[in-house]
């Protein structure tokens, strides 16, 4: 493991390596970050197994990895399965690993007992809506209700296609499907509020409307089937120039928090660990993957982990937490997913560097820890 930075405030900019490919991270005082696992090409979504195995999906690589001893300082990276179609999403339940492809979800039973030879997977879910590969990759997770949640992104930049722009939930075998949210352009991360149990999700705003519009979004589902406005409305009140006639912004659910335009928010984590200071408890961390289509004059946005503070169901602040994936305008890394570790630290995947980092709090008032 390589320690990258410890205990520096966001006001400090520190180079920690002569290697230009190593990020110079900036964190609030009392926090440190280390590269926990290397050599996980195109690392995307993460989940824990019951025995402490870290499973990592990918998108372009087509692989799923299993990492043993991830927190012990000697990670053992295993290529669990290869040659899949955009296996971005991974989830774990009852000893089985679930892996999402664009049109189906695979299930690897008893996977931690046979990491070296997991065998042929079962096909747990078939016939997910599919039109093309645009936004076809999936993020999946099991909710507090035991149901499997699966987003179905829009197959376009902006369009009105029946059966898309949704977040679905279903039984683990794909039965009893229902729409949890509609009007969702492309969500690649969600979590449930630890107190209310409500689903919150990130959503990527549409492209080609300008450098500063529309915002990306953090959304809150307060009742099943809510409409969040895509494709006719973006943010709270930005009417789409092409498809605005399809609806009324006043009838759509406004974002809980506007996020930076084109920042590509992906992973979302409500922090419920005991390691970070109390102000972070039950608050929302977001991995902003980073923009691709802003002009050179405007500069890139995202490429960071942000913190949204929530009080009484409302977002009250939005601020950087971890920066350093950009060096000027040069992309060094791109954060994708966030995962709470059993010791209360937070893991961050980086699909550009093929790495997983661990953020820990080592400052005053360190709370008690637990581990496997």
**Spans of all domains in the chain:** 33-361
Write out residues in the chain with pLDDT < 50, as ranges. Answer: 5-20, 368-372
Q: Which of 124, 138, 134 is nearest to 158 (CA)?
A: 134
pLDDT tens figures, 283-342:
999 999 999 989 999 999 999 999 999 999 999 999 999 999 999 999 999 999 999 999
Domain 33-361: give its CATH superfamily. Answer: TolB, C-terminal domain (2.120.10.30)
Q: For the whole model, what pTM was predicted?
A: 0.94
Q: Which of 273, 288, 355, 278 is nearest to 320 (CA)?
A: 288
Q: What is the pLDDT of residue 157?
A: 98
> What's the rounded Cα separation, in Å, for the pair 25 and 145?
37
Dihedral sign, Cα of residue 212, residue 217, residue 218, residue 221: positive
Asked if 67 and 82 touch (Cβ cutoff 8 Å), the reply is no
Q: What is the pLDDT of residue 247?
A: 98
Q: What is the pLDDT of residue 20?
A: 42
How far is CA 259 from each of CA 125, 236, 295, 334, 362, rounded to the nearest angstrom? 33, 12, 18, 17, 29
Q: Which of 91, 236, 207 is nearest to 151 (CA)?
A: 91
Q: What is the pLDDT of residue 73?
A: 86
Return the structure tokens found at 103. Answer: 């049109």
Asked if 102 and 137 touch (Cβ cutoff 8 Å), the reply is yes
Q: Look at residue 39 and give its three-state secondary structure.
A: coil
Q: What is the pLDDT of residue 11?
A: 35
Question: What's the angle, vertex CA 134, arms to CA 223 and CA 160, rounded to 5?
Answer: 55
Specify the DSSP class assigned to residue 182. Answer: E
Q: What is the pLDDT of residue 305?
A: 99
Q: What is the pLDDT of residue 365?
A: 74
Q: What is the pLDDT of residue 6?
A: 41
Peptide bond into 83 cis (omega under 30): no
Phi then psi for residue 136, to 5 deg, are -85, -20
Q: Show Cβ contacts of residue 317 under 8 Å, excluding neighbours closer than 6 positions.
A: 307, 308, 309
> What's the rounded Cα separation, in Å, for the pair 202 and 337?
12
């Amino acid at each position: 493991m390589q320690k990258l930075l410890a205990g520096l405030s966001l006001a400090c900019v520190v180079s920690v390596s002569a290697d230009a490919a190593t990020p110079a991270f900036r964190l609030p005082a009392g926090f440190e970050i280390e590269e926990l696992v290397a050599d996980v090409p195109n690392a995307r979504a993460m989940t824990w197994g019951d025995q402490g195995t870290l499973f990592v999906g990918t998108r372009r690589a087509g692989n799923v990895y299993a990492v043993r001893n991830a927190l012990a300082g000697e990670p053992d990276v295993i290529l669990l399965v290869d040659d899949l179609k955009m296996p971005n999403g991974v989830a774990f339940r009852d000893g089985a690993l679930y892996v999402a492809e664009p049109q189906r979800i695979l299930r690897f039973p008893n996977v931690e007992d046979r990491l070296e030879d997991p065998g042929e997977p079962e096909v747990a879910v078939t016939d997910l809506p599919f039109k093309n590969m645009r936004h076809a990759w999936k993020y999946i997770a099991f909710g507090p209700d035991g149901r499997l949640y699966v987003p179905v992104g829009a197959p376009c930049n902006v369009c009105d296609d029946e059966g898309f722009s949704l977040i679905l939930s279903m039984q683990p075998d794909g039965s009893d499907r229902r729409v949890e949210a509609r009007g969702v352009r492309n969500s690649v991360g969600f979590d449930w509020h630890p107190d209310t149990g409500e689903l919150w999700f990130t959503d990527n705003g549409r492209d080609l409307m300008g450098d500063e519009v529309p915002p990306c979004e953090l959304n809150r589902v307060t009742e099943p089937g809510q409409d969040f406005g895509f494709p006719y409305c973006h943010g709270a009140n930005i009417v789409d120039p092409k498809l605005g006639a399809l609806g009324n912004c006043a009838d759509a659910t406004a974002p809980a928090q506007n996020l930076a335009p084109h920042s590509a928010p992906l992973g979302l984590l409500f922090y419920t660990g005991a390691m970070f200071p109390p102000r972070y408890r039950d608050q929302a961390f977001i991995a902003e993957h980073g923009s691709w289509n802003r002009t050179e004059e405007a500069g890139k946005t995202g490429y960071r982990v942000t913190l949204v503070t929530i009080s009484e169901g409302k977002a009250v602040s939005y601020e950087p937490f971890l920066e350093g994936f950009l060096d000027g305008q040069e992309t060094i890394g791109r954060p994708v997913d966030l995962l709470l570790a059993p010791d209360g630290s937070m893991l961050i995947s980086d699909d550009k560097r093929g790495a997983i980092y661990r953020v820990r709090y080592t400052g005053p008032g360190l709370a008690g820890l637990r581990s496997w």
